[in-house]
């Protein structure tokens, strides 16, 4: 199982801190998006924007739940 899929499983299980610790040292675009999502959930939009920018993206305009579903799908395609 990839780091990204493990982090998303933790996130779905409400293990925010564990997901954050796992993903924070990764630098690939998907990991940066997951890291950004974690900060969106936390309410830290500035930090979230930084991580999405590292992935080459703007902050998502959809709901957090929709973004979580999108990233879950990507994480389990790896």
What is the block-wise mean pLDDT of the chain (78 residues), using blocks of 10 residues?
95 95 96 98 97 98 96 90
The predicted structure's pLDDT at residue 11: 96
H helix runs in the chain, sequence order:
3-12, 16-23, 29-42, 45-54, 64-75
- Supply the pTM of this predicted model: 0.95
What is the spatial distance between Cα 76 and Cα 6, in angstroms, rounded to a whole number? 9
The predicted structure's pLDDT at residue 1: 86
């Amino acid at each position: 199982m990839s780091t990204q899929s493990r982090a998303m499983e933790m996130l779905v299980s409400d293990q925010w801190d564990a997901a954050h610790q796992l993903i924070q040292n990764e630098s690939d675009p998907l990991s940066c998006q997951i890291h950004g999502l974690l900060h969106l959930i936390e309410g830290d939009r500035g930090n979230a924007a930084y991580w999405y920018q590292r992935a080459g993206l703007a902050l998502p305009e959809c709901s957090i739940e929709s973004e979580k579903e999108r990233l879950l799908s990507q994480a389990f395609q790896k």
